Structure 1
Amino acid sequence: MRLAIFSDVHGNLPAIERMLTDAGAVDGYICLGDTVNYGPWSNECADLVASLPNVVSLRGNHEEYFLQGRYFGNHSIAREFFSVCYETFDRLDAISNLPSTYTLNGFVFSHTIKDQYIFADTPISLECNYVIGHSHRQFKISQPPFILYNPGSVGQNRQYINVINYLVADIDDMTFDLRSVLYDERVVIREMLRRHYPDTCISYYAKRPRL
């Protein structure tokens, strides 16, 4: 059985549509959270993820912000994004009962571990096998007998804004294929302009490095 596993769509409808096309025929999906916020299509992305066949969708910190009605972080630009996106979000029912973890074949799937931003070089002692998102970076950490995968971000790659990262797993033998595909991020910026996003938010996307 093959599963497409992805995280951090962040309201980027063109990116998740491109990912789904690239993944092709799979037997199911695992979404690791943060489907909403930042991009202009939080409602549409929540709908699309919920409509996927055999999908397990988890709660990320941005779903939690939307459910609580406030952004709990200290980043000023992130606060501006939240103000714009939360104002038009009307799919709270779709995200209100999402679990925080899912276990399958000896792997724990979650948005992150203990609310940490975990990167490839983060000092961490694995206590089991994990697949996590949250840090918007694609990597693998091997600590035999355990392993951790991060598929990276679909909708807001923090290294190259025009790159979509995700992974495809073969559940029968638990092999993981980390994947990357390009898309046209200018579509997102044009929609932000059309919806009158603050200049600081538009500049955040416009000035990110491209591959």
Structure 2
Amino acid sequence: MRVAVFSDVHGNLPALEAFVAATAREVDAYLCLGDVVNYGPWSDDCLELIVSLPNSSLLEGNHERLFLGLDPVAHEIPLVRQFYEHASARFERADLIRDLPLSTNLGGFTCIHTIDGQRVFRDTDIEIDRDYLIGHTHHAFDVRRSGKRIVNCGSLGQNRKELSRASYAVMDLPSGDISLREIDYPWQRLLAEMEARSYAQVCLDYYRSKLPA
């Protein structure tokens, strides 16, 4: 059995559709580590597609909590608040993000949006007592800490290193082998839709700053 593990879609439907097309014949199940919503313009569409995938599971991320009003958006930085204003305006599928689990186990890994609410990067000094498969920081990596393993599958919809690439992981069960993947997707469609929906210029500029020169 092979499972596609992904995170941080952030309303980027073109990236999600490209990912599904790339994995449909390769995997038997899908696990999303949260943050399907916010930033991009297609939060509803992305949720609906994810729950329709075969053997699909969805965990709660911090942006699901924002959209449910469980965490105050006022505590976020101004850029995030600008994205929230646009992305939440047409959001209607709160039913798909209520009462989501925080974590699950897959192949001996604890799968969770992030560890104890921290922003975990490749060089983060952190002590752990188990193997983790996480997202949240939008950077893919595979490192060891305290003799255990942290695999970050990266961001499917908002790769902070290069927005034009969608990152995810594939786990082979029962071997537990994990491969980190990246694919191209039509990012032009994403920016065109954001412009059509009158996203703030600061949001558009932020996304353009993450594109290759």
In the other structure, the counterpart of 1:66 is: 67
| Structure 1 unaligned blocks of 5 or more | none
Q: Which residue of 2 aligns with 1:54?
A: 55
Of residues 128, 131, 143 in structure 1, which corresponds to 2:130? 128
CA distance in 2, matches of 1:112, 1:191: 29
Q: Which runs of 5+ in 2 are unaligned?
A: none
Once residues 18 and 127 of structure 1 are traced to their aligned partners in structure 2, the CA distance between those partners, rounded to angstroms, is 35
Listed as ranges, the matches of 1:68-83 within 5 Å are 68=69, 70-83=72-85
The residue that corresponds to 1:146 in the other structure is 148
**Shift of residue 73 of structure 1?**
3.5
Letter in 2 for 1:32: L
Deviation per residue, 1:118-159 (Å, 9 max, x gap)? 000000112101000000000011246421100100000101
Deviates more, 1:31-40 or 1:20-29: 20-29
Aligned to 2:4: 4
Give the TM-score normalised by structure 1.
0.96
Most deviating of 18-27 and 40-49: 18-27
Greater shift, 198-207 or 126-135, is seen at 198-207
Aligned to 1:200: 202
User: Aligned partner of 1:24: which letter?
Assistant: A
Equivalence map 1:102-181=2 (5 Å): 102-143=104-145, 145-181=147-183
Contact 2:8 2:135 in 1 (8 A): yes
1:182 equivalent in structure 2: 184
Shift of 1:105: 3.1
Deviations 1:70-127 (A, max 9, x none): 4154311110100111121000000002101101332100000111110000001121
d(CA) in 1 for partners of 2:75, 2:157: 20
Q: In 1, Cα distance between the equivalents of 2:146 and 2:199?
A: 46
Instruction: Give the counterpart letter for 2:54 in structure 1.
Output: P
Q: Distance in 1 between matches of 2:193 and 2:167?
A: 22
Question: Does the 8 Å contact 1:2/1:171 carry over to 2?
Answer: yes
- The percentage of counterpart residues that share the same residue type is 41
RMSD over aligned CA atoms reads: 1.4
Pair 16,54 (structure 1): closer, same or farther in 2 beyond 3 Å: same
Asked if the contact 1:31–1:58 (Cα under 8 Å) also holds between the matched residues in 2, the reply is: yes
Q: AA paired with 2:165?
A: V
Contact 1:65–1:72, Cα closer than 8 Å, also in 2:
no
Q: Report the Cα distance in structure 1 between the residues aligned to 2:106 and 2:140, rounded to whole angstroms.
A: 21
Secondary structure of 2:152's aligned partner: strand
The number of aligned residues is 211
CA contact (8 A) 1:33 1:60 kept: yes
Taking structure 2 as the reference length, what is the TM-score of the superposition?
0.95
| Aligned-partner residue type, residue 40 of structure 2 | G
**Residues 209 and 32 of structure 1, relative CA distance in 2, 3 Å threshold:** same
Q: Distance in 2 between matches of 1:178 and 1:146?
A: 18
